[in-house]
């Protein structure tokens, strides 16, 4: 484990809350630069997201492109600075991070990316790729680094290790490349793993392999995992809870079974309807799809952001007021006026 000195101020504020990650009304806005010095408004990529993650929990964040899930993920990874709101990791607030804590934080979070080939530097061999986080993290002992590289390559089942660690990324298959990406994310023995569409660029038969690998690692190391995807069909194989995002906000949170069997938000319902299973009956009927498209994040709709497309809109209410979070069933949260 990388050693870090926790600053005194933070030690004083430590109250154990039991959750590893706590996101509090997070907003991430990007300035639109206008020609010159003004700005033409903000892109409200993440606009008020709050949730808590317990240690060892695996959640899926689901949504279509442009819903803000990537920006949310990058804010959690401390790659974007929150515009408003805060993130608390292991009882330490992001807003109070100094460089030492930031360095410690980076060793606690692993990042698995979508594009396995792009995520690996093409001019470095596997060994060097895996050693980089260790070197950056301050592990100077060469033998120790080698030991860790071996261990992690073993865990992602890239063995015999010697066969792989001299290879360059283009010599590996897509699945093998993704294993290297996962190995790199795991090598600092993190507590939290963020996986952004980790299998969407892989072949169908390889996806299952990688998903099983990730699930196995998660269970073995009691990792907290945030799994971001647009493929609803995979979530039941991977996570316990699902968050559904739309236009920068989370519209529904529930356990996997509850959400799949009893979706409450109209958007969630539409997503589930839109996802196909291999069933020949599909060809016989049309799907119900909400009209229109996801809204612009620069000037999002007033009130509930889904209201222009919602089949169950309550006129007079949904257009003007943003719904708060309701809890119609235990552990099942919805931001929709239908459940007032």
Partner 1 sequence: MTDEKALLHIEKLVLYFNTRSGPVQAVDGVDFSLDTNKAVVIVGESGCGKSSLAKAILRLLPRNAGTYSGKIFLEGQDVMLLDDEEYRQNIRWAAISMVPQAAMNALNPVIRVGEQVAEPAIVHLGVNKTDALSLVKKMFQHVGVPEGFISRYPFELSGGMRQRVAIAMALVTSPNLIILDEPTSALDVLTQANIFNVLKRIKKELGTSYILITHDIATSSELADDVAVMYAGQIVERGDAFRFFAQPLHPYSSALMASVPTLRGKKMLDFIIGQPPSLINPPTGCRFAPRCPSRFEKCDQDPPVIEKEDRKVRCWLYA
Partner 2 sequence: MTVLKRNLRELIRYPSAIIGIVIILLLLFVAVYALVTIPYSEAVGKWAGGEAVWYQNPKYAAPAWYNWFTSKKQPVSFLVKTADGSMKKTVTPSDQDISTMDIEYSFDYQYDSPPQELTTYIYATFADKFPFTSISWVTPDNRTIRIADYQTDHKLVVRFSQEPKLQKRLKTDQVMAALFQDPKSKEPKILKGTYRLVMTSTTFEKNSDVNVELVLHGDLFGWAGTDLYRRDLLLPLLYGTPIALAFGLFAALGTSLLTMIIAAVGTWYAGWVDELIQRITEINLVLPFLAILIMVGTFYSRSIWLMLGLTIILSIFSGTIKSYRAIFMQSKESSYIEAARAYGAKNSRIIFSYLIPRMVPLLIPALVSSVPSYVFLEASLAVLGLGDPVLPTWGKIIESAESDGALYRGLYYWVLEPAVLLMITGLGFAMLGFALDRIFNPRLRDI
Residue 115 binds which entry of partner 1, partner 2, none, with Cβ cut-offs from 5 to 8 Å by kind? partner 2
- Interacting residue with partner 1 among 6, 55, 56, 64 (CB under 8 A): 64
Name which of 139 and 260 has its Cβ closer to partner 2.
139
**Per-position x/- string for 264-303, each x denoting binding to partner 1 as judged by CB under 8 A, each - no binding:** ------xxxxxxxxxxx-xx--xx-xx--x----------
The pair phi, psi for residue 153, each rounded to 5°, is: -65, -35
Which residues share a beta bridge with 60? 227, 242
Lookup: tokens for 71: 């920006």
Binding site for partner 2 (CB under 8 A): 77, 79, 102-103, 106-107, 109, 111, 113-115, 118-123, 132-133, 136-137, 181, 184, 188
Minimum distance between the CB of residue 82 and partner 1, rounded to whole angstroms? 26
Name which of 118 and 216 has its Cβ closer to partner 2.
118
Q: SS3 for 10?
A: helix
Cα 33 to Cα 28, 38, 74, 159, 301: the distances in Å are 16, 7, 21, 49, 22
Minimum distance between the CB of residue 194 and partner 2, rounded to whole angstroms? 8
CB 7 within 8 A of CB 143: no
Name which of 171 and 208 has its Cβ closer to partner 2.
171
Q: How many angstroms separate the CA atoms of 200 and 210, rounded?
A: 11
CB 200 within 8 A of CB 162: no
Minimum distance between the CB of residue 334 and partner 2, rounded to whole angstroms? 32
Q: How many angstroms separate the CA atoms of 244 and 281, rounded?
A: 27
The pair phi, psi for residue 294, each rounded to 5°, is: -55, 145
Quick check: 260 binds partner 1 (CB under 8 A)? yes
Quick check: 102 binds partner 1 (CB under 8 A)? no
Residue 132 binds which entry of partner 1, partner 2, none, with Cβ cut-offs from 5 to 8 Å by kind? partner 2
Quick check: 18 binds partner 1 (CB under 8 A)? no
Name which of 129 and 235 has its Cβ closer to partner 1.
235
Q: How many angstroms separate the CA atoms of 48 and 313, rounded?
A: 22
Q: How many angstroms separate the CA atoms of 337 and 340, rounded?
A: 5
Q: SS3 for 180?
A: helix
- Interacting residue with partner 1 among 230, 314, 326, 338 (CB under 8 A): 230
- Residues forming contacts to partner 1 in the complex (CB under 8 A) are 64-65, 173, 203-209, 211-212, 230-234, 236-237, 260, 270-280, 282-283, 286-287, 289-290, 293
């Amino acid at each position: 484990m990388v050693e870090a000195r926790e600053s005194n101020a933070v030690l004083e504020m430590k109250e154990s809350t039991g959750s590893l990650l706590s996101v509090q009304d997070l907003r991430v806005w990007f300035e639109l630069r206008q020609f010159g010095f003004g700005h033409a408004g903000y892109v409200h990529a993440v606009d008020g997201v709050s949730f808590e993650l317990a240690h060892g929990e695996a959640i899926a964040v689901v949504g279509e492109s442009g819903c803000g899930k990537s920006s949310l993920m990058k804010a959690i990874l401390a790659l974007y600075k929150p515009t408003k709101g805060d993130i608390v990791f292991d009882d330490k607030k992001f807003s109070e991070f100094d460089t030492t804590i930031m360095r410690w934080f980076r060793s606690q979070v692993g990042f698995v990316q979508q594009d396995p080939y792009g995520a690996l530097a093409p001019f470095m061999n596997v060994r060097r790729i895996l050693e980089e986080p260790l070197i950056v993290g301050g592990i100077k002992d060469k033998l120790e680094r080698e030991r860790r590289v071996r261990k992690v390559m073993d865990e992602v089942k890239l063995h015999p290790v010697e066969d792989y660690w001299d290879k360059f990324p283009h010599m590996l298959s897509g699945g093998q490349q993704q294993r290297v990406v996962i190995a790199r994310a795991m090598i600092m023995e993190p507590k939290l793993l963020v996986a952004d569409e980790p299998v969407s660029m892989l072949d169908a038969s390889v996806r299952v392999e990688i998903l099983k690998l990730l699930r196995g690692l998660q269970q073995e190391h009691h990792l907290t995992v945030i799994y971001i995807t647009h493929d609803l069909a995979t979530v039941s194989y991977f996570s316990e809870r699902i968050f559904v995002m739309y236009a920068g906000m989370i519209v529904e949170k529930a356990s996997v079974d509850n959400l799949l069997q009893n979706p409450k938000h109209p958007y969630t319902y539409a997503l589930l309807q839109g996802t196909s299973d291999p069933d020949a009956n599909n060809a016989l009927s049309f799907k119900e799809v909400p009209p229109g498209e996801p809204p612009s994040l620069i000037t999002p709709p007033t009130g509930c952001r889904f209201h222009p497309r919602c089949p169950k809109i309550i006129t007079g209410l949904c257009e003007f007021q943003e719904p708060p979070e309701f809890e119609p069933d235990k552990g099942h949260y919805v931001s929709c006026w239908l459940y007032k």
